[in-house]
Structure 1
Amino acid sequence: MASYKRVDGAALVTGSGSGMGRAVSVVLSVAGITRLYLTDLNRTGLEETKSTITSLNLPSPPTISLIPGDISSPAFISSLFSQIPQLDYAVNCAGIMGETALTTEATLEGFDKLNAVNYRGLWMCVKEELKLMLKNDITPYTGFTFSPSESQRRGQRGSIINIASQLGLVGKTQAAIYTATKAAVLSLTRSDAIDYSGPPHHIRINSVCPGVIETPLTMNSYEGTDGLEKAVGLTPMGRIGLPSEVADTVVWLCSGESSFVTGSGVVVDGGYVIH
């Protein structure tokens, strides 16, 4: 498989042992990333992601480091980032669905577990990712421009993409805690973008809001075929999305082609939220 150079340097992908995290890791590799740090609770899944990338026989495959662990653990976060000397891109995919329950029936333990991964864990990652990226020089944009000065104006020190959800924008029955964690990710993204996107930092921070995507996490969140059919029925495009479609959006947000995009929540949902 031929690669097409859209990104260069080092990237971290959390939750890269399966689903969207795996797809993002693969597409980043195809897009030209040279150093890839992958983390997930599932060590076997990480090995499978690495094998998938290796099997592509890319002309310039990335150097891959697998660092299994739990991003909800401050001790693991410290260990993880001690192994990453330099970082250009970060994609925070790690997340869980949690229990399906009405608020009056939900448990404090379930609330804490969801927030520990989806919001607190992601925040801890973003904090360390920013620290690393602030050490970078500004890299000029290398694509087509109308004048030499545009390359400098479109430069960046780094790009962070947080995986939120369409459910951070709309509601879902018996999922109040989950939807709130994803709304928190969107709010975090907007505020961090205000603080770090402009001079002197030049780090862009965006979110992606996937809809019903064909991943184990999503499929397991629907109780039976009827629930899935109902969700697809609310999607104007009338189908489930593919992990590769989310990954392509993530790579665009990493690349200089999206150089004037920050603080956004790019919705990749087949039109679900406009129904």
Structure 2
Amino acid sequence: MNRVAGKVVLVTGAGSGIGRATAKLLADEGATVIVTDINRPGGLETVQQIGGKARFEEHDTAREADWKRIIDDILAREGALHGLVNNAGIAGPFPATFETETLEQWRRMLSINVEGVFLGCKYGVPALRQSGGGSIVNLSSLAAFLGTPDLSAYGASKGAVRQFTKTVAIDCARKGYKVRCNSVHPGVILTPMGEGILPNDKARERTRQRIPIGVFGAPEDIAYGILYLISDEARFVTGAELVIDGGMNAI
């Protein structure tokens, strides 16, 4: 119950799905959690489920001003930041091929899924350094390893997160910042976003049969991987890719 005791951790996109499960697990393991989301009702519900060790901030991760405000507020109120989970993201319309996606859709996808992670690292790293070091976890996807013809921009965005994570990890390590940075790559997880790309029972069953372990993942399956990377148990882990996908990437 104390794997991250005393740590202050910011979790973006924590109003539902993987973000909510992660925020709850981190709080259960002793962390003070700052829950952020553009979805205010969802974020407040997460905080209510956690109880006294969390608070909510409305946060558009694609807006630089929001990042400045929230990081400054954490340092002022909590006095430190020890962990950052860049979880907020969107999947967009499905199917969406590169021939049918509009430039507007492409840019919106990258603004949230890539620029949001960039801004999180840009403003999070100095705060973590000031706090004596810490850990960043960037949520990528199994899509970062595979072609995604039905989710063109989404796949591209998650591939960018995978690569950028390594850049941040090596840069921080070489400079002696004591800041680790790793990516997590979920497979097919039953969240509101995940269910959006499974439009009917037939599509769901077809997808399930592609998972070697035979079942869909749950948000908690990803949350436990994130907990490990945020904790000091992972002190020697940086620039790594943690794939949690029921075996799909091994095929």
Pairwise TM-score range, normalised by the shorter structure? over 0.9
Name the structure 2 match of 1:200. Answer: 176
The structure with more radius of gyration: 1
Say whether the 8 Å CA contact 1:10–1:89 is kept in structure 2.
Answer: yes
Note the residue ranges of structure 2 that are not aligned, 5 or more in a row.
none
Partner Cα separation in structure 2 for residue 269 and residue 121 of structure 1: 24
Give the equivalent residue in structure 2 for 1:93.
87
Are 1:74 and 2:69 counterparts? no
Among 99, 102, 109, the residue aligned to 1:107:
102
C-alpha deviation, 1:112, in angstroms: 0.7
The CA deviation string for residues 80-127 of structure 1, in whole angstroms up to 9 with x for no partner, is: 222110210010110000123221111001001100100011110111
TM-score normalised over the length of structure 1: 0.86
User: Is the 2:98–2:149 Cα contact (8 Å) retained in structure 1?
Assistant: no
Amino acid of the structure 2 residue aligned with 1:263: G
Q: Identify unmatched segments of 5+ residues in structure 1.
A: 55-60, 138-156
User: d(CA) in 2 for partners of 1:90 and 1:41?
Assistant: 17
In structure 2, what is the Cα distance between the partners aligned to 1:73 and 1:18?
A: 20
Query: 1:230 and 1:264 mapped to 2: Cα distance?
Result: 30
Shift of 1:197: 2.6
**2:40 counterpart residue number:** 43
CA contact (8 A) 1:168 1:182 kept: yes
Partner of 1:151: none
Q: Residues 1-275 of structure 1: matches in 2 within 5 Å?
A: 4-7=1-4, 8-33=6-31, 35-54=32-51, 62=53, 64-85=54-75, 86-99=80-93, 100-137=95-132, 157-198=133-174, 200-275=176-251
- Deviation per CA, 1:155-183: give whole Å up to 9, x if none: xx100000100011112232121001000
Amino acid at match of 1:17: G
Does the aligned pair in 2 maintain the 1:197–1:205 contact within 8 Å?
no
Deviations 1:121-163 (A, max 9, x none): 11101111101011123xxxxxxxxxxxxxxxxxxx1000001
Is contact 2:189–2:217 with CA below 8 Å preserved after alignment?
Answer: yes
Task: Show CA shifts across 1:42-90 (max 9, x none).
Answer: 1100111011112xxxxxx52x221112111122222222211021001
TM-score (norm 2): 0.94
- For residue 101 of structure 1, give the secondary structure of its aligned residue in structure 2: coil
| Percent identical residues | 33
Q: Give the total of aligned pairs.
A: 245
